[in-house]
């Protein structure tokens, strides 16, 4: 019936599936509605409108991309555009799709499907897996939600902060996936980073006063702004220090900086806001030398207190080197050498290599770059690290 | 017909130094060549998949032990003479064409820009029978 009204069977089928999902989660707790069939059609109808809208927005977005205009922000719904009930539905749906009971890969896929309005084929292509695999991943995620008996409604106040944190985590995962799965010659692939920004924009529009969600949007914009300069003509990685900063997206930097500036004083402070503030300092600097490293170091100290991850400690060590010299940075890295969470990780030897190079210890830098190259699971990164080692080895032979 | 082309590196038997001892220009030329291989295969309508694999330090050998629990042997495999560096899957018209493609990949440039002539294994990928089997 939805298919008849809209003349789009695939979308209608999805809408009905999602209505059934809503029914499976709502009916056991809230009881059978007076008219189940009518209820299903009503929910399916509403979802169908959202899907069709998402589809239209996506087409417009693709047209824009085709015209090489990366600006997608005019298509995020304005805060006052939709009815409150629908807006709440989107948030509830987001929280359901990003539920911590789901494995991250499932949550990511389900969010892109149900909230992002992407087709299963598009999501499959984005993750470089066969469509049947992705279809199964999404359907298992739906089953899992159904089996867990989660209600389709806003979580209790006490639970809401945690659930929102899961939503942000999943959206950030979509964003970082956009940077790691960039192999393969398929030009029709959806840009996951752009998709993540679109969804986070929607989240920010729903919760404009939530400072961490604002921080997450800012972080994505400020990171993505450097995208065009991050790789060379044959896909090779270019380090922050060597990037052509005139190719950074000034509009995205301005927007991201404004967002984080507005979020920080409002509080409570969180890891995404701090990372966005660090990204903003990088983005505003005309060069590595003219970067405000003392401020970045101070922010990494704040971030380390907030999350206590060894990867943050590693970044802090690099910032320490930029402020107090490579010896101080290397000493900070030595303190991390025995951390089991970094064992076998390529980031530690890569950071050490970088600091040894800074200190002029070419031999040790070559050894560490090679060790890092052997450990990374990213091909472009492996090539980058191998090239750094090769360059130093050549300079050693021929100091011209 | 589909073929899997395997790029095996033999630590002991290789007659060229490992890539981390090359000059930046040599590394760059090698990487550019690998990119061209994929472009050419795609342009010819023969590309199915191609992946580089993590080095021997990241590889593991797994067997099921008691009750099916995994028993993992960690790298680096000091005793291992060869490791798989990457593979291509191509869909081409004849075994001769698969051999031709493998030979082309084998010419990837190494030190001094000279072709490495590294060994490429060509394996036909098994498929369903094209027609019903008779009796």
Determine the distance in angstroms separating the CA of A382 from the nearest CA of chain B, rounded to an integer: 9
Query: From residue B38, how far is each of A276, B91, B111, B124 by CA, in Å?
Result: 37, 13, 22, 19
Give the span between the Cα atoms of A311 and A383, in whole angstroms.
22
Judged by CB atoms closer than 8 Å, whether chains meet at B24 and A375 is answered as no
Contact B81, B87 (CB under 8 A): no
Using the Cβ of A391 and the Cβ atoms of chain B, whether some distance falls under 8 Å is answered with: yes
- Torsion, Cα A122 A126 A127 A130, to 10 degrees, reads 40
Which of B25, B31, B60, B87 has the highest number of chain A CBs within 10 A, making it the mutation to test binding with A?
B31
CA distance B118 to A399: 32
CA distance A131 to A137: 10
- Would you state the pLDDT for residue A356? 97
Contact list in B for residue A386 (CB cut-off 8 A) is 19-20, 27
Helix pair A157-180, A211-224: axis angle to 10 deg = 0
| A324, A358 Cβ separation under 8 angstroms | no
Query: Which pLDDT score, from 0 to 100, does residue A189 have?
Result: 65
Which residue from B132, B110, B122 is spatially nearest to B5, judged by alpha carbons?
B122
For A341-359, the pLDDT digits (tens) are 888 889 999 999 999 999 9
Classify burial at A139, counting beta carbons within 10 Å of its beta carbon; exposed 0-12, middle 13-18, buried 19 or more.
Answer: middle
Q: Which residues of A touch B58 (CB under 8 A)?
A: 374-375, 377
Predicted pLDDT at A186: 47
pLDDT higher than 70, residue A187: no
How many CA atoms does the CB half-sphere of B134 hold within 13 Å?
Answer: 0
**Alpha helix positions (H), chain A:** 2-6, 9-30, 36-66, 84-97, 104-114, 120-126, 131-148, 157-180, 192-206, 211-224, 227-230, 250-263, 271-284, 293-307, 310-324, 326-334, 347-359, 362-375, 379-397
- The rounded distance, in Å, linking the Cα atoms of A313 and A335 is 10
CA B120/CA A264 separation, integer angstroms: 56
d(CA A65, CA A89) in angstroms, rounded, equals 29
Separation between Cα atoms, residue A188 and residue A65, nearest integer Å:
11
Nearest to A234 among B35, B51, B55 (CB): B35
Answer for the pair A375, A353: CB distance below 8 angstroms, yes or no. no
**Nearest CB to A370 within list B20, B23, B39:** B20
**Residue of chain B with shortest Cα separation from A378:** B54
Q: Among A42, A52, A43, which Cα is nearest to A11's? A: A52
C-alpha span between A279 and A275 (Å, rounded): 6
Distance CA A49, CA A15 (A): 9
Sign of the alpha-carbon dihedral angle for A83, A164, A144, A33: negative
Decide if A390 and B35 are in contact by the 8 Å CB cutoff.
no
A374-382: average pLDDT: 86
Tell me: pLDDT of A8 over 70.
no
A383 closest CA partner among B31, B104, B123, B67: B31
Q: Tell me the whole-structure pTM to 2 decimals.
A: 0.77
- Chain B CB contacts of A186 under 8 Å are none
- Judge: B54–A377 Cβ closer than 8 Å, yes or no: yes
Distance CA A44, CA A17 (A): 8
Whole-angstrom Cα distance, residue B32 to residue B26? 10
Asked if the Cβ–Cβ distance from B24 to A391 is below 8 Å, we say: yes
ipTM of the complex: 0.77
Cβ–Cβ under 8 Å, residues A223 and A247:
no
- A106-110 long-range contacts, Cβ below 8 Å, gap at least 24? A106/A137, A106/A138, A106/A140, A106/A141, A106/A144, A107/A141, A107/A166, A107/A170, A107/A173, A108/A170, A108/A173, A108/A174, A108/A177, A109/A134, A109/A137, A109/A138, A109/A141, A110/A138, A110/A141, A110/A142, A110/A145
Taking the Cβ of residue B53 and every Cβ of chain A, the question of whether any pair is shorter than 8 Å is answered with no
Range of lowest pLDDT (A40-54, A168-182, A194-208): A40-54
Q: Among A159-163, A174-178, A216-220, A328-332, whose mean pLDDT is lowest?
A: A174-178
Per-residue pLDDT tens digits for B71-87: 988 755 555 567 888 99
Q: Would you state the pLDDT for residue B61? A: 86
Helix (H) or strand (E) holding B100: helix B95-106
A373: chain B residues, CB-CB within 8 Å: 20
Q: Map residue A242 onto helix, strand or coil.
A: helix
Read off the pLDDT of each residue in A62-70 and give the average, rounded to a whole number. Answer: 39
Q: Could you give the angle at the alpha carbon of A60 between the alpha carbons of A59 and A66, nearest 5°?
A: 90
Question: pLDDT tens for residues A104-114?
Answer: 889 999 999 99
* Res. B113 pLDDT band, cuts 50 70 90: very high
Q: Which of B109, B19, B32, B24 is nearest to A390 (CA)?
A: B24
pLDDT band at A73 (very low <50, low <70, confident <90, very high): very low
Across all residues in chain A, what is the average pLDDT? Answer: 83
Distance separating alpha carbons of residues A162 and A168, to the nearest angstrom: 10
Contact criterion met (CB < 8 Å) for B27 and A383: yes
Mean pLDDT for chain B? 86
Q: Is A125 touching B (CB cutoff 8 A)?
A: no
What percent of chain B is modeled with pLDDT above 70? 89
């Amino acid at each position: 019936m939805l298919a008849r009204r809209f003349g789009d069977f695939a979308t209608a089928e999805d809408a009905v599936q999602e209505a059934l999902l809503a029914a499976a989660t709502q009916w056991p707790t809230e009881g059978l509605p007076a008219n189940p069939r009518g209820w299903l059609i009503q929910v399916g109808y509403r979802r169908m409108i959202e899907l069709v809208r998402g589809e239209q927005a996506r087409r417009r977005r693709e047209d824009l991309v085709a015209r090489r205009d990366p600006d997608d922000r005019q298509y995020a719904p304005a805060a006052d555009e939709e009815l409150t009930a629908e807006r709440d539905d989107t948030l509830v749906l987001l929280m359901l799709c990003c539920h911590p009971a789901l494995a991250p890969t499932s949550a990511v896929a389900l969010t892109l499907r149900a909230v992002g309005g992407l087709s299963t084929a598009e999501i499959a292509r984005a993750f470089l897996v066969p469509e049947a695999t992705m279809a199964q991943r999404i359907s298992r995620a739906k089953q899992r939600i159904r089996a867990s008996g989660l209600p389709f409604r806003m979580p209790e106040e006490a639970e809401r902060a945690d659930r929102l944190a899961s939503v942000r985590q999943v959206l950030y995962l979509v964003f970082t996936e956009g940077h790691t799965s960039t192999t393969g010659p398929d030009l029709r692939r959806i840009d996951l980073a752009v998709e993540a920004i679109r969804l986070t924009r929607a989240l920010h529009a729903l919760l404009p006063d939530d400072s961490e969600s604002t921080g997450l949007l800012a972080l994505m914009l400020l990171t993505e702004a450097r995208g065009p300069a991050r790789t060379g003509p044959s896909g090779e990685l270019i380090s922050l220090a060597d990037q052509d900063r005139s190719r950074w997206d000034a509009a995205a930097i301005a927007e991201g900086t404004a967002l984080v500036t507005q979020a920080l004083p409002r509080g409570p402070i969180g890891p995404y806001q701090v990372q966005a503030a660090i990204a903003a300092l990088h983005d505003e600097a005309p060069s590595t030398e003219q970067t405000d490293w003392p401020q970045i170091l101070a922010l990494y100290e704040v971030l380390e207190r907030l999350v206590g991850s060894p990867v943050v400690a590693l970044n802090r060590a690099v910032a320490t080197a930029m402020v107090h010299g490579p010896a101080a940075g290397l000493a900070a890295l030595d303190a991390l050498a025995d951390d089991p969470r970094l064992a076998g990780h390529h980031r530690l030897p890569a950071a050490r290599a970088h600091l040894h190079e800074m200190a002029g210890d070419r031999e040790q830098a070559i050894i560490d770059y090679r060790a890092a190259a052997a450990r990374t699971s990213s091909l472009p990164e492996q090539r980058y690290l191998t090239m750094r080692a090769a360059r130093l080895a050549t300079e050693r032979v021929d100091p011209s | 017909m589909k073929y899997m082309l395997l790029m095996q590196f033999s630590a002991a038997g290789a007659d060229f130094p490992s890539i981390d001892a090359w000059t930046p220009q040599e590394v760059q030329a090698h990487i550019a060549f690998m990119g061209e291989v994929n472009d050419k295969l795609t342009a010819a309508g023969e590309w199915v998949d191609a992946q580089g694999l993590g080095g021997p330090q990241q590889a593991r050998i797994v067997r099921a032990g008691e009750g099916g629990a995994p028993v993992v042997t960690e790298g680096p495999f000091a005793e291992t003479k060869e490791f798989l560096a990457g593979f291509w899957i191509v869909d081409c018209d004849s075994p001769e064409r698969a051999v031709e493609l493998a030979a082309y990949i084998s010419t990837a440039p190494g030190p001094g820009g000279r072709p490495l002539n590294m060994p490429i294994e060509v394996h036909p990928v098994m498929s369903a029978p094209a027609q019903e089997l008779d009796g």
